[in-house]
Amino acid sequence: MMTKQYGPFKEEPRLDPAHELVFTILSQHTSDINSARAFGYLMDQFGSLEAVAQGGVAEIEAAISPGGLAKVKAPRIKLVLSRILELNGSLNLSFLQEMPLKEAKAWLRQLPGIGPKSAGIILNFSLGMPAMAIDTHIFRVCQRLRFIGPKVSLNKAHEIMEAKVPPEDVFQFHVAIINHGRKVCKAQRPLCGECIVAEECPSRTKMMKATEFKKSGKTARLKNGVNKPLTTKDSGPIMPHVPAE
């Protein structure tokens, strides 16, 4: 239902796994716009990830400074690329696609700073593997819909949702839920009146009691108390983790 509402989403590889890994580090705790800008500047400055791996931390930091948290991310990028070269002899990670999903995730998670979310993004977005990547939006929506329990940790949520969602639907699920979390099922002021799954949501009553909704000319009140979703589709689909063109 959410895929139909917010999509369609094109499932096509964007970056090779090593570039996806670096972009994922840059995307941590910053906006899509800033991370894409930092990635573009990094590649313009160095030309290749091999050159980044050989570069100095100060040079990397200067290149990615527009993306934020450069002092943290620059040494992390340098360290993770060096570790890949140490383990693999090159930055070509295409071999991960030939491994069982569990083993591919374990290989990536041995790298410094790569957790289940980052590993899921790399495997799913770069290699098309059915790895789940749970960010804060997906975690929040899944808890409110009771796909996961209130005491489930973020790390454990990856395993639970990966088992629940059919492999062929993981990418569409990921992007659809992120769209829903950003546009409607927001952290502080969820727009339950515009939610397409409100009637099935076990958290709806609690969320609506906790939030004051203002009337808007962009929505039409239905008899069942749910607003007709007229605004969520208009802005177009959000594609997360997208580098600059």
Per residue in 112-154, pLDDT (tens digit) is: 989 999 999 999 999 999 999 999 999 999 999 999 999 999 8
Q: 41 and 8: one domain?
A: no
Q: 154 and 204: one domain?
A: yes
What is the pTM for the complete model shown?
Answer: 0.82
Residue pair 121/20 in contact (Cβ under 8 Å)? The answer is yes
Range of the domain at 162: 1-13+130-245
Distance separating alpha carbons of residues 45 and 62, to the nearest angstrom: 10
Q: Of 83, 102, 127, at which residue does a domain stop?
A: 127
Q: 41 and 102: one domain?
A: yes
Q: How many domains does the chain have?
A: 2
Q: 116 and 64: one domain?
A: yes
> What CATH number does the domain containing 33 carry?
1.10.340.30
* Three-class DSSP category at 215: coil
Q: Which is more confidently placed, 65 or 29?
A: 65
Q: 21 and 118: one domain?
A: yes
Q: 241 and 172: one domain?
A: yes
Q: 232 and 187: one domain?
A: yes
| pLDDT at 219 exceeding the cut of 50 | no
Q: Of 95, 127, 159, at which residue does a domain stop?
A: 127
Q: 134 and 245: one domain?
A: yes
DSSP state of 238: -
| Residue 212: per-residue pLDDT | 58
Distance separating alpha carbons of residues 166 and 169, to the nearest angstrom: 5
Q: 141 and 203: one domain?
A: yes
* Three-class DSSP category at 187: coil
pLDDT tens digits, residue range 148-166? 999 999 889 999 999 999 9
Q: Of 101, 127, 153, at which residue does a domain stop?
A: 127
Q: 116 and 187: one domain?
A: no
| pLDDT at 205 exceeding the cut of 90 | no
Q: 191 and 238: one domain?
A: yes
Nearest to 80 by CA among 46, 43, 118, 127: 118
> What CATH number does the domain containing 244 carry?
1.10.1670.10
Rounded to 5 degrees, what are φ and ψ at 221? -70, 130
Q: 200 and 229: one domain?
A: yes
